[in-house]
Structure 1
Amino acid sequence: MKNYLKFIKLNEESVTPKYLQIFNSVLAGIETKELHLQDTLPSINDLSMALEVARNTVERAYGHLKKNGVVDSVPGKGYFISSVSFDRQKRVLLLFNKLSNHKKIIYDALVAKLGANGAIDFYIYNNDFRTFKKLIEDKAGLYDKVVIIPHFFDEDEHSYKIIDTIPKDKLVLVDKMINEVSGNFRAVYEDFEKDIYHALEELNERLRKYQILKIIFPANSYYSKSILAGFINFCVQYAYDYEILSNLKNETLMPGTVYINLMEDDLIDLIDKSLLTQLVIGKDIGIISYNETPIKRLILNGITTISTDFVMMGETTADMIMEDDVSRNAIPFKVTLRNSV
């Protein structure tokens, strides 16, 4: 009987779902010739006990393998390797700064498009430069592709030096372009300055009933300051008074003001403050929120959003992982107009 725990392993530090780790481990076992055609896999109960995971985790992994034509099952006999002929998976190190609603959309779209073509190990470095640096130094050399969303609270000016150590044929930057990184590498990104400028231009007819635009840009934020440049350029070009707020703590909501929020917590604060006044959102004050999520079409009869197409970002990233050509793609920015302006 094979010792399946030699190659079916779980990494507790990885954010990659455990069923995918099992799926990837079985494919890796076939690639390394530890598993052969017609080999029987452990029963769902035995493997769930050995790995100390829920039974449905193993069941989902086996179902994923069966869907991809790697294993089959016979009632009463269990699961066995039915095919060892498949294209070699790309091993992908995926590093996200955090897992927000829109980052989850990117992840889900990437995983769905990549399918069985890639084995992903997923880590979140919580915007921390030192954690990111250690992950790159310890792990980047083990993978075919290194996919990074590069946002940091501190030491951002040094991040490109670490990213620059990654071989450019492996590197895929997502969401944010870092111009200081040298060489030809893949990138799927937002053009922050142009995106907000053109989004506000599209909304300009609705904005004309307001006198001042205020953007809530948190202090010590990982958000690109190019957003502020685009915001200021628009306000100057179209003669709006404007203000940059770090938070809403001391803000008194006044008629004739449009607020642009980047963070969900600030949107909640805006809504809380508005409910304590007689001001009508969409008439007395306006709200524009970054990053489209399903809940925003329901809040207060609809919140206007300006947002990258995160599904396209995830799918384009998956394409770049599989393609040999080096390209850089700015993802389209979309305005979803609702009743909040």
Structure 2
Amino acid sequence: MIKTFRDFAQAKQDSKTPKYQQLVNTLLVDIEKGNLQTGERLPSINEASEECYLSRDTVERAYSELHRLGVITSIFRKGYFISGKSAKTKTKIFFLVGKITENNKDIFNAFVNAAGKDVTVDIFTYNYKSENFRDTINNHLGNYHYYVIMPHLIDETDENIKCLKKISSERLIFLEQSMKAFENSTAHVLSNSEYEISSVMQQHIKHFKKYKTLNLVLTEEEYFDAELITGFRNFCESNNFNFQVLDGFQEEEVEAGNVYLTIDDIDLVAAIKSAQNQDLELGKDVGLISLNDSCYKEILAGGISIISSKPAEIGKMAADMIKGEKRQQVQVPMEMILRKSL
């Protein structure tokens, strides 16, 4: 039995897309990818019905739609075969993020630009909630050629893993964060936050030595990798820096002789205001670093130093994997851009 139908039986569940259309979409994807060749015989309606756990009417409707599109042909008493024609549909990509942050927008825009004109990319959000995460995936199973997912703040529960396993590993790409259950089976473009944050700060250690205390300002409003805390702590301890991990910043005032690494831009602005109110000069009396760049940080307060996970590179690499039909597992190094604030 053709692998396409076996995969369909295992993966296509819970979607709100009609079953016949799910089967149509699955076959179109495999035809376009070359997994089904011209002249290849499809299972009979009875065989496909049994293999995919679908009614005969559902399979017959799917085959009729494919015949209408010209991608399959029927021969009396012999069956259904892949024709030499193509449905000429664009490659459709499902792109799932927790929220539309500046960092995620940079990744998405770079991905779309690198993917090219023959690709349609639809972006969805799940607001960092597991139920929304699963519902969004389930509601769009079978509608896309590839699924690009950033599983931020999604725990590896049985429910979440079961949901993701409905997607063929050949069509799934993780960005920024992966899951242990998929480490060796799916493509991903990640950043090792624990190692990278320590490494990039070590490269610029001379700029930190003029300050007495380093502060990492956490947030509940934006996603961040928990390994960031470990990497920050490792850098400080290995270089004998005094350090603090602060839970938010709104009620705090910056202190002279301190460096603040902010994750949330709200905290960044609060720190700038606090420094200005105390006539503290950024880069001299107090240091400021922001996690990830944006168009305004280069000019804000004379220039804010940043540590970046290179979102544009992450997006481009993911698009290149799809265009080249590669299943790679890539680590992207962080970078630090020095500006006036440090």
**TM-score, structure 1 normalization:** 0.71
Distance of aligned partners of 1:160 and 1:210 in 2 relative to their CA distance in 1, 3 Å threshold: farther
1:87 to partner: Cα distance: 6.3
- CA distance in 2 between counterparts of 1:195 and 1:235 reads 14
Deviations 1:258-309 (A, max 9, x none): 0000111111111121121122111111001110112111011111001022
Distance of aligned partners of 1:182 and 1:252 in 2 relative to their CA distance in 1, 3 Å threshold: closer
1:162 to partner: Cα distance: 3.2
**2:242 match:** 241
1:221 to partner: Cα distance: 5.7
Tell whether the 8 Å contact from 2:97 to 2:149 is kept in structure 1 after alignment.
Answer: yes
Distance of aligned partners of 1:289 and 1:190 in 2 relative to their CA distance in 1, 3 Å threshold: same
Tell whether the 8 Å contact from 2:253 to 2:271 is kept in structure 1 after alignment.
Answer: no
Q: How does 1:158-307 map to 2 (within 5 A)?
A: 158=157, 159-181=160-182, 183-219=184-220, 222-307=223-308
**1:54 match:** none
AA at the equivalent of 1:289:
S
1:191 to partner: Cα distance: 1.3
1:180 to partner: Cα distance: 3.4
**1:156 match:** 155
**2:138 match:** 137
Distance of aligned partners of 1:220 and 1:120 in 2 relative to their CA distance in 1, 3 Å threshold: closer
AA at the equivalent of 1:99:
I
1:105 to partner: Cα distance: 1.6
The secondary structure found in structure 2 opposite 1:177 is coil
1:332 to partner: Cα distance: 2.7
AA at the equivalent of 1:222:
Y
AA at the equivalent of 2:280:
L
AA at the equivalent of 1:248:
F
Deviations 1:135-178 (A, max 9, x none): 112213332211001113xx624244533442211110012222
**1:115 match:** 116
Moved more, 177-186 or 99-108: 177-186
- CA distance in 1 between counterparts of 2:221 and 2:304 reads 26
- Structure 1 unmatched ranges of 5 or more: 1-27, 37-83
The secondary structure found in structure 2 opposite 1:292 is coil
1:250 to partner: Cα distance: 3.4
- CA distance in 1 between counterparts of 2:207 and 2:89 reads 52
- CA distance in 1 between counterparts of 2:185 and 2:156 reads 20
Deviations 1:22-65 (A, max 9, x none): xxxxxx9xx979899xxxxxxxxxxxxxxxxxxxxxxxxxxxxx
**1:103 match:** 104
- CA distance in 1 between counterparts of 2:265 and 2:274 reads 14
Distance of aligned partners of 1:234 and 1:151 in 2 relative to their CA distance in 1, 3 Å threshold: same
Tell whether the 8 Å contact from 2:222 to 2:264 is kept in structure 1 after alignment.
Answer: no
**1:92 match:** 93
Moved more, 160-169 or 318-327: 160-169
Tell whether the 8 Å contact from 1:140 to 1:146 is kept in structure 2 after alignment.
Answer: no
**1:322 match:** 323
Tell whether the 8 Å contact from 2:149 to 2:175 is kept in structure 1 after alignment.
Answer: yes
- Structure 2 unmatched ranges of 5 or more: 1-31, 33-64, 71-84
1:340 to partner: Cα distance: 0.7
- CA distance in 2 between counterparts of 1:180 and 1:151 reads 15
Tell whether the 8 Å contact from 1:289 to 1:304 is kept in structure 2 after alignment.
Answer: yes
- CA distance in 1 between counterparts of 2:142 and 2:87 reads 24
Moved more, 229-238 or 217-226: 217-226
Q: Radius of gyration: which is bigger?
A: 2
Distance of aligned partners of 1:233 and 1:160 in 2 relative to their CA distance in 1, 3 Å threshold: farther
AA at the equivalent of 2:174:
L
- CA distance in 2 between counterparts of 1:180 and 1:242 reads 35
**Identity, % of aligned positions:** 26
- CA distance in 1 between counterparts of 2:218 and 2:169 reads 33
Tell me how many residue pairs correspond in the alignment.
263
Distance of aligned partners of 1:164 and 1:226 in 2 relative to their CA distance in 1, 3 Å threshold: farther
The secondary structure found in structure 1 opposite 2:141 is helix
1:211 to partner: Cα distance: 1.0
The secondary structure found in structure 1 opposite 2:199 is helix
1:243 to partner: Cα distance: 0.7
Runs of 4 or more, structure 1, over 4 Å off, are 31-36, 84-88
1:117 to partner: Cα distance: 3.0
Distance of aligned partners of 1:166 and 1:256 in 2 relative to their CA distance in 1, 3 Å threshold: same
Tell whether the 8 Å contact from 1:140 to 1:166 is kept in structure 2 after alignment.
Answer: yes
AA at the equivalent of 2:258:
T
AA at the equivalent of 2:163:
I
AA at the equivalent of 2:112:
V
Moved more, 181-190 or 168-177: 181-190
**TM-score, structure 2 normalization:** 0.71
- CA distance in 2 between counterparts of 1:199 and 1:33 reads 57
Tell whether the 8 Å contact from 1:177 to 1:190 is kept in structure 2 after alignment.
Answer: no
